[in-house]
Structure 1
Amino acid sequence: MQIGSILAIYFIVWWVVLFAVLPFGVKSQAESNAVEPGTDPGAPTRPLLLRKAIATSILAALVTAGLIYLARSGVVRLEDLPMPFKTDMD
């Protein structure tokens, strides 16, 4: 597997993991009774984005390493993945 493929997989995995990690530990302004005037009460008080970005990077690296291992060991092959059928018009 080439480095470009590995980086592309990591990029996709990073975004998927980010959306899974974002809701962890979030308290809204309404829950913490600290609603700032002019903001939505559902807005987070402390989103902790730097911590979440670091956690996302580490988790994405682990998931990507696992996927690379599965691909290189032969456990999962491209032929095993479901592909759309070819039509006669191709």
Structure 2
Amino acid sequence: MFVGPITLFAIYIIIWWLVLFTILPLGMNQGAQERPTDGSDWGAPARTNLKKKFITTTWVAAIVWLILVLVIQFQLIPLPDIPSTRT
């Protein structure tokens, strides 16, 4: 089963977003935090580390994507054949 490059890219983007939302809460600690006086949200973290989380998300998503592509390529999980609508 051949999967086109646009489909592969779309699958990667979906996996990237799923991995991002699983990685975002990691490392957040609200332990001994003082009450904010500048009007910011009480639950907002002091340091978000978004750059590190985006980099981690990218390589974790790439690994998950590669595993999924290999599973599809070697047909380790049988997928139904979808008839083509091309004429």
Scaled to the shorter chain, the TM-score interval is 0.7 to 0.9
Q: Which residue pairs with 1:39 in the alignment?
A: 40
Q: Which residue pairs with 1:86 in the alignment?
A: none
Kept after mapping to 2: 8 A contact 1:13/1:63: yes
Moved beyond 3 Å, runs of 4+: none
* Alpha-carbon displacement from aligned partner over 1:3-30 (angstroms, at most 9, x marks no partner): 11110110000000000000001134x7
Q: Which residue pairs with 1:12 in the alignment?
A: 14
* Alpha-carbon displacement from aligned partner over 1:17-45 (angstroms, at most 9, x marks no partner): 000000001134x7333624211211110
Aligned residue runs from structure 1 range 50-89, under 5 A: 50-79=51-80
- Structure 2 stretches of 5 or more lacking a match? 81-87
- Measure, in 2, the Cα distance between the counterparts of 1:7 and 1:17: 15
TM-score normalised to the size of structure 2?
0.80
TM-score normalised to the size of structure 1?
0.78
Identical columns (%): 35
Q: CA deviation at 1:50?
A: 0.5
Q: Provide the aligned C-alpha RMSD in A.
A: 1.9
> How many residues are matched?
79
AA paired with 1:70?
Answer: V
Looking at both structures, which has the greater relative contact order when contacts are Cα pairs under 8 Å and sequence separation is at least 6?
A: 2
Partner of 1:78: helix, strand, or coil? coil
